[in-house]
Amino acid sequence: MAAAVTSRLSAALCRQFQRVVTVSSFTQAHYAAQTISKFQSCQQRAPVYSRALHTSCVRKGLDEFFDLPENWGEPTVKSGAPWTAKQLRTKSNEDLHKLWYVLLKEKNMLLTIEQEAKRQCLQMPSPERVKKVERSMKRLDTVVQERADSLRLLQTGQEKARPGAWRKNVFGKTIWYKFREHPIPWHLNTRYKRKRFYEPLHVTPYTRLSLEKHLKSKVRKERREKRRHKELAEIFPKKTAVA
């Protein structure tokens, strides 16, 4: 009886083991088939080109610091008028930012041409271009400063970027004193207490004399200009056109 039960248990275990082996082999075959199909589909796809580092165009190289080849050897090069403040005020901040770097690149190119002309002892073609670019950059800087001052005046009510006050020095001159931050209070700062922001009594007469001297020099300059205009009018009289 015991032998029959043992044989039945052995047969049942063999059947279960056979089922497990069959299922696992089927699963492995199915997974392998899916992997092969995915690999084939990846091979059939179009290749994707990606680059982690992007650089600017390097085809010109150092030629960026020189003028166009068609302008080489020419005695004069045509150039436009400099930017006016009225034109720059109509531009946005982004356009002004881009224009600044365009003018800076143009200035570097013109300075390179000027240095090369000096090295070869030649005349730079159209040297007035440097002045035009400098004027445009100065006006652009002025327009940007105007916008910054307007924004600061609107937000904080301060005219200057750095707060300060009008004070008189020991020579009687009115100066703009810029405030600075100190780690200690002003009444404990010996360096600040050594400064004098008032006009001494013995300096007051000299202040009046300095003002009188300034007014006299201004009057002399105006008289000199009038005399010069009068002499030029005598040398080059105005002639009315005969009808």
pLDDT band per the 50, 70, 90 thresholds, residue 75: confident
For 139, 197, 237, the CA distances from 79, given in Å and listed in that order, are 18, 52, 36
Sign of CA pseudo-dihedral 220, 221, 222, 223: positive
Contact of 99 with 87, CB cutoff 8 Å: no
Determine which helix (DSSP H) or strand (DSSP E) holds 175, and give its type and residue range: strand 174-178
Contact of 86 with 76, CB cutoff 8 Å: no
The dotted CATH code for 79-155 is 1.10.287
pLDDT digits (tens, 9 = 90+) for 117-143: 899 888 888 889 999 999 999 999 999
Mean of the pLDDT values across residues 151-171? 87
Determine which helix (DSSP H) or strand (DSSP E) holds 114, and give its type and residue range: helix 93-119
Mean pLDDT of the chain: 80
pLDDT for res 25:
47
pLDDT digits (tens, 9 = 90+) for 213-222: 999 999 999 9
CATH 1.10.287 residue window(s) in the chain: 79-155
Q: Is this prediction's pTM over 0.75?
A: no
